[in-house]
Amino acid sequence: MVHPFMTYEINEAVDSMVSTLLQIGERVVEVSRDQTMTRIWDREGSPLTALRHQYLGKKIADIRNDSTIAFCKTGVDEVFATGKNIYKEYVSYKNDVNAVVTYSLRILACHPDKENYVFLVIENISRGNEELLIEDKWKMALDASAQGVWDADLENKTIFFSKKWEELFGYETKEISSFAEWSSKVNPDDRVVAEERMKDYIEGRAPIYSVELRYRCKDGSYKWILSRGVIVERKKDGSPLRFIGTHADISVHKHAEEELRQAKETFANSFNYSGIGKALIAPGGKWLEVNNIVCELTGYTKEELKELHYRDITFPDDVDLDTGLIQKLFAKEIPSYSIEKRYLSKDRKIITANITVTLVWDNEANTPRYFVCDIVDRTRKKEITEELKRKNTELETASVNLLNKINQLEELNHIIAHNLRGPAGNIKLLSEDMGIFSDKEALTMIHDSSLSLLANLDMMVEIARIKLDKGVQYDTCNVKELVNGITQQLQGIIYQNNIKIVADFEVPEVSYPRMYLDSILYNLISNAIKYRTKDGQPVIEIATRMNNGRVQLMAKDNGMGIDLERYGDKIFKLNQIFHEGYDSKGVGLFITKAQIESLGGTIEVQSKPNQGCNFVVTL
């Protein structure tokens, strides 16, 4: 029976105390300060149970008007005022059995909420001597109970035990009859705690005496017991006189508790000292617990994460990535799932992780308790994989281009040999003194051959340029897709530094070798990121437009810029570096210019220090 206005702790203490009081009383009544009987407990099998409804919820004065009720009314007020217990015996005539029954009535100030309640304890003592009745009660009522009962005379330092108590520990009647004998059997490690708990109760600092301790049985083994008790009689000066209670064997419970503790410790160790991130997440999405790996990975402290929802640190595009899988866990359609997901660290770095999620259920209530998440960092592996893919693509492109160049050079070699053989032969012939031509004629012919040779060389250079480019495959390129692919590769540094990418593609598609255009865009965008502004938000603008019938590609930023007055003639040269302290080899712009010009395009730049760069590529 739970009182709705009492705390859980007080209700628990009341239940414990009533369990003890029912060992000395047939009925226990809880009475409030206004003398309302708020709760009633009867010993199992008591004939008083049938009449409980006549008293429950009523005031004492509303029952009947006789001397016993008058005693209860004044007695309750007196106990509230003095804090001292009161004892009375009264006689009641029972018509159904035509007999006189004698009852004892105790009004006790031992309620856990003693400012607002007292206990009335009623017991049938018709057989005469109360002590004899109590002993009889041990035999009849308590021997059937799983708890051993003790009854202590604090004045004489003697203690009485029920037969069940003797059975629990193996002792025979009268083997233990004093406090000293009882105390000697308490495990030494628990004795101080037990004595402190008893002292706290007797001196009013605790509402009930309750302690868990180990008690030595007669065979030398120890049992864990729950010892609880209550003072039921005091002297006139208020000092305790009679102290009764119970000993319950809780060994099985303690062993289970120890196994649970070890299981929790094992789980805690595997959770906290795991080599991967581990987290517990509430069904509603709040972080409940995380280990140090998760903190290192995200940059948040445990306390900070516990204030957040898991969506708060999930990469925006991945927030709903596993929503369907979570619903399947709730529906018990799957036991767990694994997925790759991205998160944002406290300093805005993108974290790529493989997560495995299981849902733990409360089996009794059949409700979800929490998610267990294993989080494996794949960020560096992802970056290396993307970099390897890009390098492999570049290597494959270079290999194909080199093979094409070799084939083209072989073909060009035949053209050169054919076209230069004639003029070279004429010059050789005319340079030999064979007496066929006069000197003037010979010089004129040599001059003409030289002009022809130069014309052929100019033509060969032009042919070489055309020939070396003829093997490059032109593609229909979607500029937006190429830019998105590059920003995807660079998304980590873009999000970390809050870089804004602005795109405006007036010409959405261009005909150009995809590998060249991808390389040109990558070099221009990565340079803009590398030499970004340190003041304010970095902004990179990528655009296409038509200009005089040709497609132009623009890459503009608000970064560090270049001093063209100082470096203007070197900006597209090999191995030129314009900003110290950056991982740069001065190759990117050289390659970009070579690629653009190899296909007949141009690249120009407008820039000033600290005002960014604007590259304009005409394809």
When mean pLDDT is compared across 208-212, 261-265, 370-374, the lowest value belongs to: 261-265
**pLDDT reported for residue 552:** 92
**pLDDT reported for residue 134:** 45
**pLDDT reported for residue 412:** 52
Residues facing 251 on adjacent strands: none
Question: Is pLDDT at 91 greater than 70 in this prediction?
Answer: no
Closest-CA residue to 555 (of 601, 523, 507, 596): 523
Query: Other C-beta atoms within 10 Å of 259: how many?
Result: 10
Angle at the Cα of 35 from the Cα atoms of 34 and 36, rounded to 5 degrees:
95
Query: Other C-beta atoms within 10 Å of 586: how many?
Result: 14
The reply to whether domains 1-126 and 274-377 share a CATH topology is yes
Mean pLDDT score of the chain, rounded to an integer?
Answer: 80
At the fourth CATH level, the homologous superfamily of domain 475-618 is: Histidine kinase-like ATPase, C-terminal domain (3.30.565.10)
Torsion angle of C-alpha atoms 506, 508, 511, 513, degrees rounded to 10: 110
Question: Is pLDDT at 466 greater than 50 in this prediction?
Answer: no
Q: Which CATH class is domain 274-377?
A: alpha beta
pLDDT digits (tens, 9 = 90+) for 228-250: 888 878 777 778 888 888 888 88
Percent of all residues in the chain with a pLDDT value above 70, rounded to a whole number: 80
- Residue 209 in tokens: 């005496």
**pLDDT reported for residue 492:** 75
**pLDDT reported for residue 125:** 72
pLDDT band, very low/low/confident/very high, at 544 (cuts 50, 70, 90) = very high
**pLDDT reported for residue 37:** 92
Q: Beta strands 500-505 and 539-547: pairing type? A: parallel
CA-CA distance, 124 to 203, in Å (whole number)?
Answer: 31
What letter would DSSP give residue 474?
P
Closest-CA residue to 555 (of 494, 617, 619, 615): 615
Q: Which CATH class is domain 382-469?
A: mainly alpha
CA-CA distance, 244 to 153, in Å (whole number)?
Answer: 9
- Residue 35 in tokens: 């003398």
**pLDDT reported for residue 496:** 81
**pLDDT reported for residue 223:** 92
Give the residue-averaged pLDDT of 167-172. 87
Judge residue 546's burial from the number of C-beta atoms within 10 Å of its C-beta, 0-12 exposed, 13-18 middle, 19 or more buried.
exposed
**pLDDT reported for residue 462:** 46
**Domain residues of the chain, as ranges?**
1-126, 274-377, 382-469, 475-618
* Runs of H (alpha helix) within 320-360: 323-330
Token pair 């059937």 is found at 144
CB 457 within 8 A of CB 482: no
pLDDT band, very low/low/confident/very high, at 131 (cuts 50, 70, 90) = very low
Give the residue-averaged pLDDT of 122-143. 53
Give the residue-averaged pLDDT of 487-494. 79
In terms of residues, how long is the chain? 619
Give the residue-averaged pLDDT of 458-481. 66
Give the residue-averaged pLDDT of 127-131. 45
When mean pLDDT is compared across 61-65, 150-154, 534-538, the lowest value belongs to: 61-65
**pLDDT reported for residue 427:** 62
Question: How far is the CA of 598 from the CAs of 224, 590, 603, in angstroms?
Answer: 90, 12, 12
**pLDDT reported for residue 260:** 80
Yes or no: domain 1-126 corresponds to CATH 3.40.50.620: no
pLDDT digits (tens, 9 = 90+) for 185-213: 999 999 999 889 888 888 878 777 889 99
